Structure 1
Amino acid sequence: MADKKQEQFYSPPPKMGKWEGFKKFLWNSETSQCLGRTGASWAKILFFYIIFYAVLTGFFAAMLAVFYQTLEVDKPKWTLDNGMIGSNPGLGFRPMPPEANVESTLIWYESSKPDNYKYWVEETARFLKSYDDLPKKNHVNCSFENLPPEGKVCGIETHSFAPCTEEQNFGYHVARPCIFLKLNKIYNWVPEIYNDSKGLPAEMPTDLKQHIKEKQSLRPNETGVVWVSCEGENPADIENIKSRDYYPRMGFPHFYFPFKNIEGYVPPIVAVQFTVETGVLINIECKAWARNIHHDRSERRGSVHFELMVD
């Protein structure tokens, strides 16, 4: 009798086909199991995961709440030398080459073919339109005598860049292209201006030194500027640049600084119109000049490089 019971205990399960076995896995009427678990077992595991993920969500929510308590909405926590950006602004230029040549800094076109320079004109116009489309809230008209009050920012009139205007194709059709420069924004950075012609650095270009001296003697109130210069990088490049004209002035006025993330703020821009030797590739380096702007060509600190070729 005992042997018979033992044989029944160790007897293998009945053989079933794949479909029958799958249906029994979905619902076993003999043991009241669904997917291999009873209702009580499913209730326990569901309750466990609800508690587990609720605690996990609450933990991360608490950590984020504590983290955001250390931040300010309108300014970065770490600024200037304490931040990753640092306190040495760089320069940017527009128009940029097409996205297909994202790593290129070459501006190359044929001045006799409108379809050829059309992209550069449209890209420059798009850049200036982005300034016009910005909200004018908090904008005031600024000058060297009329500084912006607290909580206000200086606006920019894009017509002040004449002859670098869309109506004149930004000079591309006459082989005198206009390149726009802008200084990168750094929160709370204040430039230390070169407004004394006696303390100018030796490496500053001669024509810029002369310009500062003239401003110092004729209009000393207009020397509060982060100066800008554009030069050929090599002796051959210098020879192939016939002239450069800066609009509206040879730098960025001090009343645009510091950047404090006030709504409506626009970074100042300078248009540089180049007259160059045609059919020659010219390497150009533009620099921003202030006592607290340091130049490093390898890291492009305080400067920007691009190539210009007009056929």
Structure 2
Amino acid sequence: MATHSGLLHRKIILAAGIISLFALNYAHAEPVLRSRPKPPTNIETSLIWYKAYDQGMVSALTQDLDQLLEGYKNPDHIPGRAENLVNCDYLNTPKGNEVCRIDVMNWTPCTHEDDYGYKNNTPCVFLSLEKLMGWQPEFYNDTNTLPAEMPEDLKTYIAEQKNINPNNANQVWVSCSGDNPASSENIGPIEYLPQRGFPGYFFPFSNTTGNLSPLIAVHFKRPMRGVIIGVECKLWARNLKHTEPEKQGVLLFELLND
């Protein structure tokens, strides 16, 4: 029969093992990039298919985005969010149970009032982050050591942001492009709202009640109609590897406007 001290010893070992497991998981944590809207179907697909003239198809996609943004627009609908909400920037980072306000109301045309661009064939796709707990990004904030494979327009953007304010360079940058030569020709110009990265004051991400992922709206301004456009979006941080087999922080989806 086990003694009290023996049981206590085993419980301590078990607890230590659980703590070590959590520490190991956090040490190997990495963010997962997700996109919305989701197609109104039970079939698992990465294709965002719509017809700009078909109000039913447009409504299905805009309703999904309305659902995504509900907690951002109405923080009192998320338990614990409204009372802990603060305006964040690099000089005012969240403390304790505070969570950062994310104002999605003025991201024109990526708004409910504009049908998120779908009725005008200028669709908006929202990017969010998952599995953030324990991950601390290593920022690409030195314009002299940016990777060769980073898109040139992103390098230019980083330099511009750093010239405005050095703190602005502390972001997890985002790039989206065609995932093959044909898609690169058909994708058209892209705009990122409210900026082209996830600001550093969101990290490390806390599990505070009411905390929501930061968001970026990717606005496709003139995608070609009638063709499937493969899109590859990437997160850029020094501790993310885009190459196989890791493919960290990489998201693939397709756009089709018939």
**By how many angstroms is 1:282 displaced?**
0.4
Are residue 116 (structure 1) and residue 116 (structure 2) matched? no
| Cα separation, partners in 2 of 1:194 and 1:164, compared to 1, 3 Å | same
| Structure-2 residue corresponding to 1:282 | 229
Unaligned runs of 5+ in 2: 1-6
1:263 to 209, 223, 242: 209
Structure with greater proportional helix content: 1
Q: Indicate the structure (1 or 2) with the bigger Cα radius of gyration.
A: 1
CA contact (8 A) 2:29 2:131 kept: no
| Cα separation, partners in 2 of 1:194 and 1:129, compared to 1, 3 Å | same
Q: Distance in 1 between matches of 2:19 and 2:86?
A: 25
Q: Distance in 2 between matches of 1:251 and 1:290?
A: 10
| Structure-2 residue corresponding to 1:70 | 15
| Structure-1 residue corresponding to 2:118 | 172
**By how many angstroms is 1:85 displaced?**
8.8
TM-score normalised by structure 2 residue count: 0.86
CA contact (8 A) 1:185 1:259 kept: no
**By how many angstroms is 1:196 displaced?**
1.2
Could you tell me the percent identity over the aligned residues?
Answer: 40
Q: Helix, strand or coil for the counterpart of 1:70? A: helix
Q: Deviations over 1:165-218 (max 9, x none)?
A: 001000001000000001223222111111111111111111111101111223
Are residue 196 (structure 1) and residue 147 (structure 2) matched? no
Q: How does 1:72-151 map to 2 (within 5 A)?
A: 78-79=21-22, 82-83=24-25, 86-102=28-44, 104-131=45-72, 132=74, 133-135=77-79, 136=81, 137-151=83-97
Bigger relative CO (Cα 8 Å, ≥ 6 apart): 2
* Structure 1 range deviating more: 126-135 or 197-206: 126-135
Q: Helix, strand or coil for the counterpart of 2:218? A: strand
Unaligned runs of 5+ in 1: 1-61
**By how many angstroms is 1:89 displaced?**
1.7
| Cα separation, partners in 2 of 1:298 and 1:305, compared to 1, 3 Å | farther
**By how many angstroms is 1:297 displaced?**
6.0
Q: Distance in 1 between matches of 2:244 and 2:124?
A: 23
Q: Helix, strand or coil for the counterpart of 2:172? A: strand
Matched residues, number: 246
TM-score normalised by structure 1 residue count: 0.72
Q: Helix, strand or coil for the counterpart of 2:251? A: strand
CA contact (8 A) 2:134 2:205 kept: yes
